[in-house]
Structure 1
Amino acid sequence: MVLSASAKTTSTSLGSTEANIHASVERDGNSLAPVSTAQFAFMALIGVPVWLTVLVPLTLIYQVGNGIKNAISGPKTADASSAFVLDSGYQVDAKDIIPQKDRKYDVVMLGATGFTGQLSVRHLAKTYGCSGEKGVNWAVAGRSKDKLNKVLQSLADELKMPKLMDTPIIVVDTAVASTLPNLVRDTKAVVTTVGPFRKYGSGVVEFCAKFGTHYADITGEEDWSQVMMQQWQSTAQATGAKILHFCGCDSVPWDLTVFQMAQFLKTEKGEDLASVQCFDEIKTNPSGGTLETMKLALGTSELPSLKEGAPEPFRCSPQGKEHTSPVTANLPSWISKVDLPWSSQPAYGSFFVMSVVNSKVVAWSQALRQGAPLTYSECAANPDWKTAFTNFFGTIAFFTAILNPITGGLLYKYVLPAPGQGPSMKTMTQDSFASIYAQGTGTKQSKVEALMYFTGCVGYLETARMLVESGLALALSPRDQLPSTDNGGFFSPSYGVGTALLERLMQTGTQFTVRSLKEEERTGLNKIE
């Protein structure tokens, strides 16, 4: 199987055949710089004491007080404009559903005026030209036609593509159900960056499911995704809509990597993947949209509860069969010394903020396939203990601070980027990267290693590319080229589009390798605790 024109395939490898699988990352000069002694001292002598004596007490007082208040008076009743709507009640006539092959657009980009949305439109234009120019028919969608035209004008000027101004525009308000049929009716797939998804995404999922339109998003909101799955699974299965969540940095790199390692072991060695350890080297910066999603998720949830007595959606096959061999997530709670396979220098593993969601998506993929038991481990790879300590407590202090309205309000108002803001293009292309290295062991003790490498900002620039290519994989891939032969339903990225997505990513800039690893080449990995 050849994934791209540049990918080499042998009996023991897929991708690079260099002795050091990490060589391309090192050639690019990409590495995580250690923190300075001054930064470490500031965190140890000021940051940690402030966290313990100020942030923790403030947050505990607020959370306990809020809990007592809700217990006495009941939760705050949401007004009509903010209440969570599970089902709009919109009825779709069968004659209004256009067959997929007859639809006007391959993909519609929803949220094109947002930070990641603009990057998604940019990727569509740079890679596939204007709508219809290179075999891909696409449109943009959002609430304001004027703002959408401004985005198109800006990109037309930047890319010197004046015809971008002819891109079809669909005006839609995700909070107004009557506008949603125009979004989903005449496209094969909708890709959306409009988050927080629990606030803006539910109607889009509903109408895609009802109209048989494929869907992909970049949510990391696992609880919301399960509510959507429980509500609309049977509808999507009936109409043929494939609904894919987590199609960005949460959690395509890890989900695809584990999937490819498992496929490789099964094909080459005839055994299942029993355990995998991921080491993450990621340099990126947050955007306002991501922080707004975190703020909402950490606050009072508007989500309805999952149905009592029903199995957890992420533990079921597409047919509803509960997975009896769940994935065991082994994520670090402190800092541990690790030996990185590509370096003779000691390194230190620590908790990675996205690993919780990643482990749940990997577990969902295993459940969809009814796969063998798997132990999944993941950590951030730090160049030294000082850096691991600083990053570890910096993450804890940040989340503690935003859990109370005093410090959280100050951060959101004066320090953090607002929704729609994010890192500059220069930062995203020249000062960002992501390397996900993994080692795995099969059920018969065969060893395998893999590396997925992104040269840009994985949180935004590369996430936009992952999202667009996920939608195009859904819209354009022949059914027999997708890992799932199910007609429709809710799927993880690796189960829904799998190798078709990986091929598209490799053709547009991602580097990926998976290959056998001899026992003597396997670096001793210390247990992550």
Structure 2
Amino acid sequence: MAPSFDRPHDLVVFGATSFVGQILCRHLVARHGTTGPLRWAIAGRSAAKLDQVAADTGADVERIVVDATDAAGLAELAASTRVLVSTVGPYALHGSLVVAACAEAGTDYADLTGETQWMRRMIDAHHAAAEASGARIVHTCGFDSIPSDLGVWFTQQRAIELLDGPCGRIDMRVVAMKGGASGGTIASMMNVVAEAAKDKEVRAILADPYALAPPDLRSGPPQPDVVTPQRDPDTGHWLGPFVMAAVNTRVVQRTHALLGRPWGPTFRYREAMDLGDGPLGAAKAGGLAAGSLAGMGLLAVKPVRTALARWVLPKPGEGPSPDQQEAGSFDLRFKGTTASGARIETRVTGDRDPGYGSTAKMLGEAAVALLDLPRDEVGGGFWTPAAAFGDRLVERLEAHAGLRFTVVDPAA
């Protein structure tokens, strides 16, 4: 089915009653209103909850009742809009029928998934249909993995502009992060661990840094994730594992592959937490590494996952207050080296907590950007944020989502 612009809606938020969905609705109301040129609607499985979201957020737009298990209803929903944005996760449990519906209907799609094994399934199952229909499917449009993916894109563009070519290696350091991951992200991680515990194919996908690249480009130099305490050779600071690295690095390598590997066949990218120097930095790095390893081990135990879901994670629709969201922030540094040894350092910052306030705005801007994305430049298929949007999204995020992309030092 070829995409049609003669549809009732430009954009539909599926999962508007989720906490991130509500923040997204507020963002869309503030940016586009409810009676302006953007024709948008909200969707979810409960009419009463959708009415409450409309009242609470000011999103007095059409409400559409549909469940993530209703294939026929989702097909009708996808056919009614140019862009469908979903906050209904874990996506491996609730997102497959949504992606299938969009791929068949020629409907552009954006989400917040960080589930590598599920993205691989969706690419393998629906890429051909999306190519044929013209649907642009863009996963990972939140904190995982827009800051990393676009941070690498920005760094490479500035390296080409300011130095002697692209970087053959980039290392990202999280130097500050206040607010942490969302309950939805943690729930998705729990499901990933549960799948990996019982399926060796899932474990193989999760361990492969090129797992999301097209089949003919799923190879390259070893790129082990940072899992143990290490020293940064440039600063001497202690490094520890970054919980999002196993997703972000795979997305960046897919971007590189989709672009035709312009940064060279041996391009390497790694992420880590910068925990400072001295004994305190060493203690933090050791504690984080041990805690991460123990945490993954515990999540593999079903009773632990059940207890976390029941007693620890936020319930659907719950999350930090607006004040807490505004108090959050993040600061990422990208350190690149070209083939000649020239070096560059760039910075990506956000002015909201990464898991909720900033993520919702990133998702909203990516979804609206799809409406303006020329089809002769970006056709149907599965894209990453950087490969689909590039500088277009950088500009939107700086203007409307509180992110900043800057060059720290072209000769760092």
TM-score by shorter chain over 0.5? yes
> Match for residue 415 of structure 1?
312
Distance (whole Å) between structure 1 residues aligned to residue 352 and residue 189 of structure 2: 23
Taking the TM superposition and a 5 Å limit, the aligned residue runs for 1:29-428 are 94=1, 99-100=4-5, 102-130=6-34, 132-133=35-36, 135-156=37-58, 164-165=59-60, 167-280=61-174, 281-300=176-195, 314-316=212-214, 322-323=216-217, 326=220, 328-338=222-232, 347-371=237-261, 372=264, 373-383=266-276, 384-428=281-325
Cα-to-partner distance string for 1:477-523 (whole Å, 9 max, x where unaligned):
3447xxxx2421011111112211111101112111136622xxx3x
Q: Is the partner of 1:299 in helix, strand or coil?
A: helix
Q: Structure 1 residues 236 and 305 mapped into 2: Cα distance closer, same or farther (>3 Å)? A: farther
Cα-to-partner distance string for 1:42-89 (whole Å, 9 max, x where unaligned):
xxxxxxxxxxxxxxxxxxxxxxxxxxxxxxxxxxxxxxxxxxxxxxxx
* 8 Å Cα contact 1:287/1:419 also seen in 2: no
Q: Is the partner of 2:143 in helix, strand or coil?
A: coil
2:344 is equivalent to residue 448 of structure 1? yes
* 8 Å Cα contact 1:289/1:418 also seen in 2: no
Q: Is the partner of 1:445 in helix, strand or coil?
A: coil
Shift of 1:336: 2.6
TM-score (norm 1): 0.70
Supply the AA of the counterpart residue of 1:437: R
* 8 Å Cα contact 1:254/1:362 also seen in 2: yes
Supply the AA of the counterpart residue of 1:138: W
* 8 Å Cα contact 1:98/1:186 also seen in 2: no
Q: Is the partner of 1:503 in helix, strand or coil?
A: helix
2:381 is equivalent to residue 489 of structure 1? yes
TM-score (norm 2): 0.88
* 8 Å Cα contact 2:238/2:285 also seen in 1: yes
Q: Structure 1 residues 313 and 340 mapped into 2: Cα distance closer, same or farther (>3 Å)? A: closer
Distance (whole Å) between structure 2 residues aligned to residue 136 and residue 174 of structure 1: 25
Shift of 1:270: 4.9
* 8 Å Cα contact 1:188/1:475 also seen in 2: yes
Distance (whole Å) between structure 2 residues aligned to residue 419 and residue 324 of structure 1: 37
Q: Which has the larger radius of gyration?
A: 1
Distance (whole Å) between structure 2 residues aligned to residue 286 and residue 515 of structure 1: 26
1:499 to 378, 386, 391: 391
Supply the AA of the counterpart residue of 1:474: L
Distance (whole Å) between structure 2 residues aligned to residue 401 and residue 418 of structure 1: 21
Distance (whole Å) between structure 1 residues aligned to residue 99 and residue 308 of structure 2: 32
Distance (whole Å) between structure 2 residues aligned to residue 270 and residue 352 of structure 1: 30
Shift of 1:299: 1.6
Distance (whole Å) between structure 2 residues aligned to residue 516 and residue 288 of structure 1: 36
Shift of 1:268: 4.0
1:472 to 362, 368, 382: 368
Supply the AA of the counterpart residue of 1:511: R
Cα-to-partner distance string for 1:175-218 (whole Å, 9 max, x where unaligned):
01111133111211111110111111111111111110000111
Q: Is the partner of 1:147 in helix, strand or coil?
A: helix
Q: Structure 1 residues 406 and 234 mapped into 2: Cα distance closer, same or farther (>3 Å)? A: closer
Supply the AA of the counterpart residue of 1:288: G
Sequence identity (%)? 32
Supply the AA of the counterpart residue of 2:404: Q
Residues matched between the structures, number = 395
Q: Is the partner of 1:216 in helix, strand or coil?
A: strand
Q: Is the partner of 1:449 in helix, strand or coil?
A: strand
Supply the AA of the counterpart residue of 2:212: F
Distance (whole Å) between structure 1 residues aligned to residue 359 and residue 83 of structure 2: 17
Supply the AA of the counterpart residue of 1:447: R
Q: Is the partner of 1:234 in helix, strand or coil?
A: helix
Q: Is the partner of 1:507 in helix, strand or coil?
A: helix
Q: Is the partner of 1:123 in helix, strand or coil?
A: helix
Distance (whole Å) between structure 2 residues aligned to residue 305 and residue 183 of structure 1: 33
Structure 1: segments with no counterpart, 5+ residues = 1-93, 157-163, 307-311, 523-529
Cα-to-partner distance string for 1:301-326 (whole Å, 9 max, x where unaligned):
799979xxxxx87232xxx6x22763
Q: Is the partner of 1:271 in helix, strand or coil?
A: coil
* 8 Å Cα contact 2:241/2:292 also seen in 1: no
Cα-to-partner distance string for 1:102-131 (whole Å, 9 max, x where unaligned):
23322111100011111111111122222x
